[in-house]
């Protein structure tokens, strides 16, 4: 196809990005989700260490209560049920928290999205030739290099830290058992913190790399952008939405133009037409705003706000609204009626000037 043959040099449009999102194609960094999960898991483990130790101790005491007891099927079943229950109680908070953390880690990257398209059957996904091509693609190569670098960095850091710990072992051998456990806990926390920081740096870099690759993959050719524009232009819903937005923008500009009008002629409630007369440039007043009902009310409000004279003349207001287009000069046949209005405006402005 022409769009595929051309070089994809253009940034993806918002529609292209939204279409990709609806298909489940989003910039997703596995490392970012993993580091959030790791932080939550380790933090929770530290908080629950006492609780977990207590449950394990209770289970140990429960086992001790059967010392010297003759085992039968009922006792074995009871021990197994108790063991399974205690293990579930210990692991449930951690497992649930890891699941929630995994979801949060993904939602933080691309927001909440629900789509079934990625799991729908697709014959192109089982094409062996395409699969072989993907296996040796640049993306797969980058992923492989990333994995090797991550493992290498983490193992190197862990090795250096553990080497420092090993140097302290001769001194630690002289500690009491309780002191040794405290030392072991502190060193484990230090190692965990260093590994988390390393993973966090890797995850931040990975997020930027994934987003760069994602938007590179969505780039479009000039022909694709033209085709998309034509498609959107022909869509009745899109055309209707564009028309509504244009009308709303025009109304807002029109109401704002009332501030520069000389007079607003009203019905007084249903019609309002704002006129501006620049005698140095034009030979007739110009319609700068007009509206009925709610829009007429907005025009009047804007007139009062900016001290524009509001003049009640129902027949003239209706005639101006009917015969005059927006931003056009009034027709010759309305000159006489409108001139009477402007006489009133000039007199009112003169009185206001003399009072000031």
Per-residue pLDDT tens digits for 167-176:
888 887 887 8
Give the model's pLDDT for residue 114: 61
Query: Which of 311, 301, 303 is CA-nearest to residue 346?
Result: 311
Which pLDDT score, from 0 to 100, does residue 117 have?
A: 58
Kindly state whether residues 247 and 334 are assigned to the same domain: yes
| One domain for residues 117 and 197 | yes
Which of 199, 224, 249 is a domain's end point? 224
Helices (H) and strands (E) in the chain, counts: 13, 4
User: Can you give the pLDDT at residue 122?
Assistant: 56
Burial class (CB in 10 A: 0-12, 13-18, 19+), 70: exposed
In-domain check, residue 303: yes
| Mean pLDDT for the stretch of residues 277-302 | 87
Q: Are residues 197 and 77 in the same domain?
A: yes
Give the separation between CA 103 and CA 144, rounded to whole angstroms. 25
Phi and psi at 165, nearest 5°, equal: -65, -40
pLDDT band at 2 (very low <50, low <70, confident <90, very high): very low
pTM for this predicted structure: 0.49
Tell me, yes or no, whether 297 and 251 share the same domain. yes
139 versus 276: the higher-pLDDT residue is: 276
Q: Is pLDDT larger for residue 110 or for residue 23?
A: 23
Vertex 322, ends 321 and 325: CA angle to 5°? 70
Domain range for 215: 10-224
Whether residue 177 is found in the same domain as residue 264: no
21 and 79 share a domain?
Answer: yes
Verify that 327 and 258 share a domain, yes or no. Answer: yes
Question: Which residues does 283 contact at the CB level (< 8 Å), separation at least 6?
Answer: 329
- Same domain (yes/no): 101, 165: yes
Q: Is residue 230 part of a domain?
A: no
Q: Do 257 and 162 share a structural domain?
A: no
How many independent structural domains does the chain possess?
2
What is the pLDDT at residue 125?
53
CB 270 within 8 A of CB 321: no
* 3 assigned to some structural domain: no
What number of other Cβ atoms are within 10 A of residue 240's Cβ? 10
Does residue 246 share a domain with residue 217? no
């Amino acid at each position: 196809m022409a769009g595929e043959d051309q070089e994809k040099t253009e940034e993806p449009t918002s529609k292209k990005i939204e279409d990709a999102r609806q298909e489940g194609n989003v910039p997703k960094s596995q490392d970012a989700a993993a580091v959030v999960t790791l932080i939550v898991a380790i933090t929770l483990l530290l908080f629950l260490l006492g609780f977990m130790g207590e449950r394990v101790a209770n289970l140990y005491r429960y086992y001790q209560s059967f010392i010297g007891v003759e085992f039968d099927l009922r006792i074995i079943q009871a021990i197994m049920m108790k063991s399974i229950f205690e293990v579930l109680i210990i692991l449930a908070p951690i497992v649930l928290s890891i699941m929630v953390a995994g979801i949060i880690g993904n939602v933080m990257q691309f927001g909440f999205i629900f789509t079934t398209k990625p799991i729908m059957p697709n014959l192109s996904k089982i094409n062996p030739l395409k699969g072989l091509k993907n296996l040796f693609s640049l993306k797969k190569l980058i992923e492989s290099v990333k994995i090797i670098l991550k493992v290498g960095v983490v193992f190197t850091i862990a090795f250096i830290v553990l080497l420092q710990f090993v140097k302290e072992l001769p001194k630690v051998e002289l500690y009491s058992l309780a002191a040794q456990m405290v030392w072991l806990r502190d060193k484990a926390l230090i190692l965990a913190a260093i590994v988390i920081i390393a993973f966090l740096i890797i995850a931040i870099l990975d997020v930027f790399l994934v987003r760069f690759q994602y938007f590179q993959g969505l780039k479009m050719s000039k022909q694709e952008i033209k085709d998309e524009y034509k498609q959107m232009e022909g869509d009745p819903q899109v055309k209707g939405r564009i028309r509504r937005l244009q009308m709303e923008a025009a109304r807002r500009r029109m109401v704002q133009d009332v501030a520069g009008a000389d007079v607003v002629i009203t019905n007084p409630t249903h019609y309002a037409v704002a006129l501006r007369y620049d005698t140095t440039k034009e030979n007739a007043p110009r319609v700068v705003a007009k509206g009925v009902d709610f829009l007429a009310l907005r025009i009047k409000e804007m007139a009062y706000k900016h001290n524009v004279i509001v003049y009640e003349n129902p027949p003239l207001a209706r005639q101006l609204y009917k015969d005059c287009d927006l931003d056009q000069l009034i027709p010759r046949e309305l000159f006489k009626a409108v001139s009477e209005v402007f006489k009133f405006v000039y007199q009112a402005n003169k009185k206001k000037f003399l009072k000031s």
